[in-house]
Structures are given as structure tokens and as C-alpha cells.
Structure 1
Amino acid sequence: MSNLINKIFVSPKLMLGYFGVMIFMAGEGLELNWLPEYLQQSGHMTQAQTGLIYTIYGLMVAISSWFSGVLAEIYGVRRVMFIGLILFYVGSFFFLTFGMPTHNLYWIIPTYAIRGLAYPLFAYGFLVWVAYEAPAEKLGSAVGIFWFMYSGGVAVIGTGYSNVMLNYYHISHLHVLWTALIFVTIGAVVALALSGGDKNSENKKTEKASFSYLLNGLTILTKKPKVAMGGIVRMINTSAAYGFPVFIPALLIAEHYDKDVWLSVVTWLWMVNVIFNLLWGIIGDKLGWRNVVMWFGCVGCAITTFLFYYAIEAHASVLTITLIASVYGCFLAAFVPLSAIMPMLAPKDKGAAMSILNFGAGMSYFFGYFIVTLFIASVGNAGVIYIYTVLYLVAACLMVFVNVGQPKTDSVEHEVAVAVKEAL
């Protein structure tokens, strides 16, 4: 059994950390796909106002994402993850006590922004741990498992739980959000109390002065231009996916689809994404990390983003729209090998490289919402879709230059089969 765990999850410590992140992110993602629409309908807010809320939230996510890597190097992964947990508690308390009940924009923006600082420290801090703990030849698979657990928490457990509580048990939106504290607490206990220490990052922090290493998270952009390119590609990766909830639900209603269609479509999108987060990590180890990101991730998302919008405009069946969204979710996961590419671009500064990757992931929130906020009034829904499509093609062009020497590895399927045989 120990061999099986080591083959699949790299180590027992990482296995517990993976599951802790999944449960934590389930609490973080409860409102991911319905809060903008809820604020527009129940809070009588405009698309621009909800876009502003999420733009500022995304900016906080981006800032916290950058700090997650370098702070994990300086202070250790577990401390940084614990800080993320505390920030989630603080932000949630004020957001749910003063923001949601009053629908007051001046309460919602700052309190929800505090929550935006929380999860990157917890989840992306752990990703630094993965980058150090996993052997180079298994790094693609290891980060694939991370994103599988991360997305599984947000998109499957979190979204599914919300859907059941809201639509079947008719629990209020506010009370559903309060239950997020249960998820994040359990996730934190599993990841922090049970997973043990993080020796790699604890040793790393003693080698550098804190301030100079913090600056290294920025100077690496000039020392390693490919790291900067990788960060931009990661920013583009999920920008459209995060922007969709701001305007696609209203578009579906305007095109005379039932109001529950969006939740159904987006649930399938993320369910498929979760599965392929794991598979693309394995496929990337075989076909090449850059090839998977460039052709399946960038080009695939460009095509399916375009098709997704025009399927709605053409009044296609819900099944057709769901299938296109699911394929988009599949290609969205093909960016997973970026998490293996980035530390290999700067093997002596993995924490700094991962900070740029994490910053790109955080900026993806900000960028996706900002595009909607800035352009929806002037270019409309179609214009926003064109922007997202072009950005994916730009990312493909950047990936041409992000080449890295990829370690050779035996097939993961073979390794798992051997481990199972040994365990039995």
C-alpha cells in the first residue's frame, strides 16, 4: 500500500496535503458560479458592479498568489497555509455579517477582497511544496494531481454541494456560504495537522535573506524571460472561464434558456476539467509539456471559446452547448503542464518561479473579470468573446519560446500497475 501511495501521490505527506487542499477549495468555491447572478438579481446590482467586485477580488488573488511562493520559501509552507486559513475566517466573517445581508457595495468589496487574499496562500503555498517534494521525472503527474484535487474541490464538491443545498433543500444563499467555514476547517486540519513538516522549504529559507529573496520573485522576470512568458500564459489560461459567470448567465436568459441552464452547463464544464487535470499531466509527461499546453490548451481553448458563444447565439440545444463547454473544460486542463515547466525553467529558484506561476493564476481572476468590466458596455458579449479568443492565440505564440528540457520518465500507468501488484 505504501508503494501504491508513493507511486500515485509521491509521498504520504503529499497525499494528505492534496486531500486537504481539495476540501479547503470546496469551501472556497461554493459561490463560484452563482454569486454574480445572485447579486444582480437579489441585490439589484449591474453587471458592471458585480464585475468591479470580482475585478478587485481578482487583484487581491493575484497579489496573494505572487506572495504565496516567495513567502513559502522564506517562512515555510505550513505557516503560509495557516495565514491563508486565518484570512479566510476574517474575510468570511465580515463579508457574511455585513456584506451579503445588506447588499452594500462598500461592505462587499473590501470584505470579499480579504477572502481573495486567503486561498492562494493555502493552495498555491502547498503547490510550492509539491514542486520540491516531487522528483523531476514525476513533476508533470504530481502537479496534475494537485490541479485535479484543486478543481475537484472548487468545481465538483463545492459547486455540487451548493446546487443541492440551494435547489433541493432550499437553504438560503447566506446560510450556504456560512457552511464554507466547515469545509475550510476540515481541509486545513487534514493538510496542516496531519501532513507533517515541509523540510524542503524550511531548509531553503535559511539560505537567503528574506528581503533579497522577496525581490527575487520580481527580478527573476528579467533573469529568466521564459518564466515571465509562462506567467502570462497562465494568466490567459482561465481568464475566460472566470469571466463567463459575469455575463454568460444573463446571455442565456436573454436567449430564452431556462435560468438553471447555466449551473448545469458550468457543472459539466468543471467536472470534465477535473478529470482532464489529472490526465493532461500524465499525457504531458509523454507527449511533451510544451506541446500539450500550446496545441491542446491554447489553440483548443481559442476554438471552443468561440464555438461556445455562437452555439448560444444560434439557439443550439442545451446538450450541444453542454458538450462544447465540456470540451472547453477538457482543453482548459491542458495548461496543467505549465506547473511542471515553470520550476524547470529556474531549477535553483523554484519558489520564485512558482510565485510567478501563482501570480499568473491569480491575475487570471483579475484579468478575466477586468475584461468584462472594461469592454462589455462598448463591444458587447461578442466583443468580449473575441478578446478571449485572441488572447488564447497569443498564448500559443508565447509557448513557442517556452521550451524546456523535459526529464524522461517511464509511463505512469506502468508505475501504478507495478505498485498495485506489489501492494497485493
Structure 2
Amino acid sequence: MSEVSIPARPFAHNEVIPVSSRLPRSLIFGYAAIALFMTGDGFELTFLARYLVDLGYTPVDAALAFSVYGFVAAIAAWCSGVIAEMFGARRVMVVAGIAWLVLQVVLLSVGLNSGSLPLILLIYGARAAAYPMFIYSFVVLIAQTVDRSRLATAMGWYWAAYSLGIGVLGTYLPSWLLPVLGEQLTLWLALPWVASGVLLAAWSARRYGGTAQTAQTAPTGTEPASRLRELARGATILVENRPILILAVVRVICNLTLFGFPVIMPLYLSTTTYDGVGVLAVTQWMQLWGLMFAVTIVTNVLWGRIGDRFGWMRQMRWYGCVGCAVATLSFYYLPQWTGPNMWALSAAAVLLAVAVSAFVPMGAVFPALAPGHTGAAVSAHNLAAGVSTFLGPAIAMVLLPIAGIGGVCWAYAVLYLIGAGLTVFVRPDQPGIRSRRPVPATASASASASASASA
């Protein structure tokens, strides 16, 4: 099996941390590549559902397209961690990026012009496999190179780059281009952004020797059967490690609104379909969503540092889960109470940004719960993230005809509160939290072994 060893020495609470231990400089270009790639990938996010309805499809059809996309993304996300370890993050990122570009061209030139929903689902679903392979291969690189006591900080910067791409540039740029160019031309302009991200990822990974050589430096015994066993472990670890299973459920819940709101909110805020209030133009909604992601650029980094200092799970429980429940309902009720008041809706967007970014330590908790199987733990994290991509739109698809948009928002809020309760049962061994003094590596290892035995 290909296993990754993460340095286990925690830092003292007041120790001066070397810059290289905080964030390897070689990762900075990788963060930029993530931002560029996700800018292009995010171009369609806030208006594709509305565009499909304008093309003659139903809102349920639009939700189905996002659900199929999320289902395929979930499978790809599950595979991505182990595949990146086996074949090298650089190679996986480049292949995934090229696949995205090719399938985007097919979608725009054939799929959307065909009038065939099954064909759109086939092409759009196939493209969904590319983005998790690209971005989560980089997560494996982070886990391989960053000290465990600083993983939440590194993941905070990762999610900041992600937010800058998919949420800020990937939302504001289309909101300005859409009224001028229309939907089709706007979607075509996603291509150069993704291509730039792929080229930068290939160049930066080549500069960083460990990235390009991951597959070559992996232990022997990586024949096909061994590779399949390692890949399967990304799922079986959910059965073998109960804390990881519980945390995976929380991971699924934490991003429901990020992938569900782009399906329902354009309909809710700019139409009267399914109890919509119709108080904003589509471009106003896009800018509102962009504001939310713009705030997360800052809060992702802040929450990463706060989580490393004061505790991962406490932060995710109260500020993440409970905060997202409140923010979700605020998005639904404020337009009814205030009408087309962008200030009130902006406040809801900021609240959601602060809450959803409180989950940034999630990427650090998974490896901490299975220190001997980092690749499998990261794959379990990625699988849960992919399921969230699927489940957010799927809940909308099922509940829209039954309970309307209000029912969908309440379902999200209740699930967030359930997630808050589940976090009580996850107790990772976090360096520097139980004691303000440096903890010897042997003691940390003993604590991890004890936690595994009790699970």
C-alpha cells in the first residue's frame, strides 16, 4: 500500500513557527492554480439552473442535472486521494484539467444545443469527474507536506483559493459578462481560466520535486491489485473507523447550502416559481453569492488559525453547524420581510460566509483520525465532500414539488443541527490543544493509538 507519513511533532502554543512549517512556499503556486481552475469551473454555478429553465426544461430537470453532476463528483472525489498518491498529484491534475476542457467544449457545442436532457446529463456528468480529481489531488499534496499541527491553517489557505475562484471571480465575472454576451458566450470564456490553472499546476508541481515524484517514491507493491485495495480502503475506512464515519456525515452536511442554494435561490429570488419572491434580478443574485465567497477568502484563513489554536471540533459545532442553520433560514425569510433590500440580503450572505468557513479544519481532522492511512482518510473526506455536491441539489429535486423552496431550506437547517450533535462524538488528537506545552511525539502517538482502540 502507498501510505503517507505526516510529521507528528506539535508546536508549543507560543512557539515561533518557521515559515516553511506553516506553509511550504512551493504550495503558493498550487493555491493560485486552484483559484484559476475554480474560476472557470464556477462560471456556470449561479445561473445554469435558471438557464436550463429558460431553454425549456423544468426546475426539477435543472436540479436533476446538478444532482447527476454531484453524484459523479462524489465518486471521483472518493478516488482522487489514493489515485493522486499512486500516480502523482501533478499527473492527475493535468489529466483531469485536460478532460475538463475537452468535455466543456463538447457540452457547449453539442449538449446545450441538442434539446436532449439525457445528452446534457451524460456530458455534464462526465465533466463532473474532472474537478474533484484536480483540486483534491492538491489536498493530498498538502497532507504530505504540511506539519499536522498546521494542517488547518494550510487548509484555510486552500479554501481561500477555492473561494476566490469559484465564488468571487467565478461569480462576479459572469454577472458582468452575462448581460453583454449572453449565457453561451459567457460559458465559453470559462475555458481560458481553467487552461491557465492547469498550466500553472503542471509548472509548479514540476518545480516541487515531491509532487512530481509521488508515484515514483511510493513503496513497492503498487501492482493493480494493490492499487485497488488502497482505493477501496477510502470507503472501507468508514466502516473500520467509527469517528471517521461520523465525521464524514458531518462533512456531507456542511456544504449542503453551497451546492443547494445555486439551484433554488435563482428561482426563489428572481422568479415566482415554487413560492419564489422574485425580488432580485439574476445578476443581483450572482453578485450576492459572490459577496458570500469574497468574505470566505478572509474567514477561511482566520478560522484555520483559530481552529489550530482553540480547537477544531468546538469551532465546527457552534460556528459551523449552528451558524449555517441560522444563515440558511435567514436567506429564506429576509426577502419576505424586507423585500428587495440588498443590505439585508448581504447581511445574510456574510453570515453564511462566516458560518460555512468555520468548517475549514475538516481537512485536518480526517488525517488526524487515521494517521497511518492518510490517503484513505483523505479519500473518505473527498467522498463525503462529493456526496454533499450531490445531496444538496438532490434534496431540492425531491422537496421542491412537495414542500417548495421553504421546505428545502428547512431541511438544510435541520440537517445542520443534526450535524452539530454528531460533532460531540468526534474527538481527534489535536496537537497543542490539550496542553499549552509542547507534546512529545511519542505521547502524541500513544494518544492516537488509544483513541483508535476506543473507537
TM-score, scaled to structure 2 = 0.85
State the partner residue of 1:351: 375
Q: Please, which runs of 5 or more residues in structure 2 have no aligned partner?
A: 1-16, 437-455
Say whether residues 1:386 and 2:398 are aligned partners. no
Say whether residues 1:134 and 2:151 are aligned partners. no
State the partner residue of 1:403: 427
**CA offset digits 1:208-241 (Å, max 9, x no partner):** 5212211211221122111112211111111122
Say whether residues 1:176 and 2:162 are aligned partners. no
State the partner residue of 2:257: 240
State the partner residue of 2:300: 277
State the partner residue of 2:398: 374
1:138-177 pair list within 5 angstroms: 138-167=150-179, 170-177=180-187
Deviation, structure 1 residue 4: 8.7
Say whether residues 1:186 and 2:203 are aligned partners. no
- Give the Cα–Cα distance (whole angstroms) in 1 for the partners of residues 415 and 345 of structure 2: 22
State the partner residue of 1:203: 217
- Give the Cα–Cα distance (whole angstroms) in 2 for the partners of residues 236 and 313 of structure 1: 26
Matching residue within 14, 18, 21 for 2:31: 18
State the partner residue of 2:41: 28
State the partner residue of 1:215: 232
Query: 8 Å contact 1:133–1:200 — kept in the other structure?
Result: no
Query: 8 Å contact 1:73–1:202 — kept in the other structure?
Result: no
State the partner residue of 1:85: 97
- Give the Cα–Cα distance (whole angstroms) in 1 for the partners of residues 219 and 202 of structure 2: 19
Deviation, structure 1 residue 202: 4.6
**CA offset digits 1:134-178 (Å, max 9, x no partner):** 0111111011111110111111111122122223xx123212222
Alpha carbons of structure 1 residues 201 and 299: separation in structure 2 relative to 1, 3 Å: farther
Residue type at the aligned position of 2:49 = P
State the partner residue of 1:70: 82
Q: Please, which runs of 5 or more residues in structure 1 have no aligned partner?
A: 412-424
Residue type at the aligned position of 2:35 = M
**CA offset digits 1:77-129 (Å, max 9, x no partner):** 12221221122023112101111233431221111111100010000111011
Alpha carbons of structure 1 residues 207 and 345: separation in structure 2 relative to 1, 3 Å: farther
Deviation, structure 1 residue 258: 2.8
**CA offset digits 1:167-209 (Å, max 9, x no partner):** 3xx1232122222221111111111123323255653453652
Query: 8 Å contact 2:36–2:197 — kept in the other structure?
Result: yes
Alpha carbons of structure 1 residues 202 and 379: separation in structure 2 relative to 1, 3 Å: farther
Residue type at the aligned position of 1:88 = W
Say whether residues 1:258 and 2:280 are aligned partners. yes
Identity %: 34
Query: 8 Å contact 2:175–2:287 — kept in the other structure?
Result: no
- Give the Cα–Cα distance (whole angstroms) in 2 for the partners of residues 267 and 186 of structure 1: 21
Matching residue within 241, 244, 252 for 1:227: 244
Deviation, structure 1 residue 5: 6.3
User: What secondary structure sits across from 2:398 in the alignment?
Assistant: helix
Query: 8 Å contact 2:279–2:335 — kept in the other structure?
Result: no
Query: 8 Å contact 2:69–2:124 — kept in the other structure?
Result: yes
Deviation, structure 1 residue 61: 0.7
State the partner residue of 1:418: none
User: What secondary structure sits across from 2:44 in the alignment?
Assistant: coil
- Give the Cα–Cα distance (whole angstroms) in 2 for the partners of residues 86 and 282 of structure 1: 34
Residue type at the aligned position of 1:288 = G
Residue type at the aligned position of 1:243 = G
Shifted more, 158-167 versus 280-289: the winner is 158-167
Alpha carbons of structure 1 residues 68 and 335: separation in structure 2 relative to 1, 3 Å: same
- Give the Cα–Cα distance (whole angstroms) in 2 for the partners of residues 346 and 201 of structure 1: 21
State the partner residue of 1:99: 111
Shifted more, 111-120 versus 85-94: the winner is 85-94
- Give the Cα–Cα distance (whole angstroms) in 1 for the partners of residues 278 and 37 of structure 2: 36
Residue type at the aligned position of 1:350 = T
Deviation, structure 1 residue 27: 1.0
User: What secondary structure sits across from 1:314 in the alignment?
Assistant: helix
Residue type at the aligned position of 2:286 = L
Residue type at the aligned position of 1:194 = S
- Give the Cα–Cα distance (whole angstroms) in 1 for the partners of residues 143 and 415 of structure 2: 28
Say whether residues 1:333 and 2:366 are aligned partners. no
User: What secondary structure sits across from 1:194 in the alignment?
Assistant: helix
- Give the Cα–Cα distance (whole angstroms) in 2 for the partners of residues 401 and 111 of structure 1: 40
